Structure 1
Amino acid sequence: MIPAYAPAVRKLIHEVADNIMMPRFQQLALDEIVEKMPGDLVTVIDRESEARLTEGLLAILPDSRVVGEEATAADPSLLDRIGEGVVWIVDPLDGTANYAEGKWPFAIMVALAIDGVTEAGFVYDPVKKRMCEAVAGVGAFVNGERITARSTGQPLPVGALPNRFLTDEERQDFERRMEGRFLPVPIPGCAGEQYPRLVLGENDVALFWRALPWDHAPGALFLTEAGGRIARFDGTPYRVDDRRTGLIAAASPALWDEAAKILVG
């Protein structure tokens, strides 16, 4: 059954989108966008959204903790106990670079994990007003309608397969493995859009080099509950407290196996 807290979480996410995020979309001043580190932006909206989400989520489950992207940037030790107890995992603005440029896609993402296992996930697209939601053992839903992942049906798997974090040597090997075996498509720069693409029949496979929990906890559960698969390169199931890099996600277990055979060997 759907957890009793789910309606309150949806309401909170909609409130943040409507009152904080969308009124400032395409309205940010240059001094409201800064680099946390080279190539990694943060805006005033990230911080305001996370503050409101944190306040609201703690009110919904008072005995919980919140691990948010921006709070963790200030205090990395927050990740040390992410696998213990009842923890909300928050990405207050996934796709910050897109939002800062005044373009779609971007999303709000929230997950609830208990002892390192994701129990519920929420991925909200404020532009499309699309709420992707999942509950472990219950299923995946888009705006309240149950959904099952489907492939694109293309002759070759449609893959969002970035090579940004690879060395030149790794990139050459990667491209050699991919050649003629995937139909490559651009990545959206937003995990909150990439996971729905896998479920909705737009992409078959996605590769993620970084595996930060706020980027993947909600979407990974949504994909899995819809019938897809996500795992580490060695096939280990995804957990929020596993700090290794690298994930392969696919619209079905069979597509995952095919992709892993090509990409990992």
Structure 2
Amino acid sequence: MKLLRYGPAGREKPGIMDANGQIRDLSGVVADISGDVLSPAGLERIAGTDPESLPVVDGKPRLGPCVGAMQKILCIGLNYSDHAAETGATPPTEPIVFTKQLNALCGPNDDVEKPRGSQALDWEVELAVIIGSRAKYVSEADAMDHVAGFAVMNDVSERDFQTQRQGQWTKGKSHDTFGPLGPWLVTKDEVADPHALGMWLDVNGERRQTGNTSTLIFDVPHVVSYLSQFMTLMPGDVISTGTPPGVGMGMKPPRYLNVGDVMTLGIDGLGEQRQTVVEARA
């Protein structure tokens, strides 16, 4: 299933994409794409509903982030061997974990703000893992039982804020609009192998990133299990698993985003995003 949220920011409704690519309204079935709706029982309930019986959503509404009411956005740094190489970093021996604050979350086609004082705004196409049921001290063997599905995320980053301003990475990762998520959550039953997905990102029509989840250093079960040793993962939590090579920081010389630039990005089977860079709003 392809589950989504549509409508004005902060007032999104739940939806599902039917076999013809038409959005159907799920409001009569679930309140939102969040919480227990993402559990095996919740997804089974949606799967038992015939999309053709649901109201058609007319036009092309704004798509919001495909998951609502989450508690955490967790991210894994330097998790692609070829990306680590381009940045000159030694591949990590265990996952590098940082957070992206919830205010960063936005729809897949919303504008991305360039923060005041930003000189190094960067792009990162990433595979996002959506947690479906509570996970604490889970094994790698059981980790996928706690995953609802997958989505595209752009881990937008301000590199100077991230690396030159001391402290941890969070302040370079958490500006408003730094977390476009969607267009939809693809349930795991429709993703044959999350470790064999092509991914790409263009800036102004020029290819910048080309990669494949096959070069992940730490795969999805490992990451879910690892995180669950340090914190309880809750339904709706998002794990952004890292980016392949081609980020602006890794170019020689580095190339960064400016107001008016357009990013388009996607992952095989998970859909595409499009964002325009704008000046930060108060």
So what's the TM-score if we normalise by structure 1?
0.28
Q: Relative contact order (C-alpha < 8 Å, sep 6+): which is higher?
A: 2
More helix by share: 1
So what's the TM-score if we normalise by structure 2?
0.26
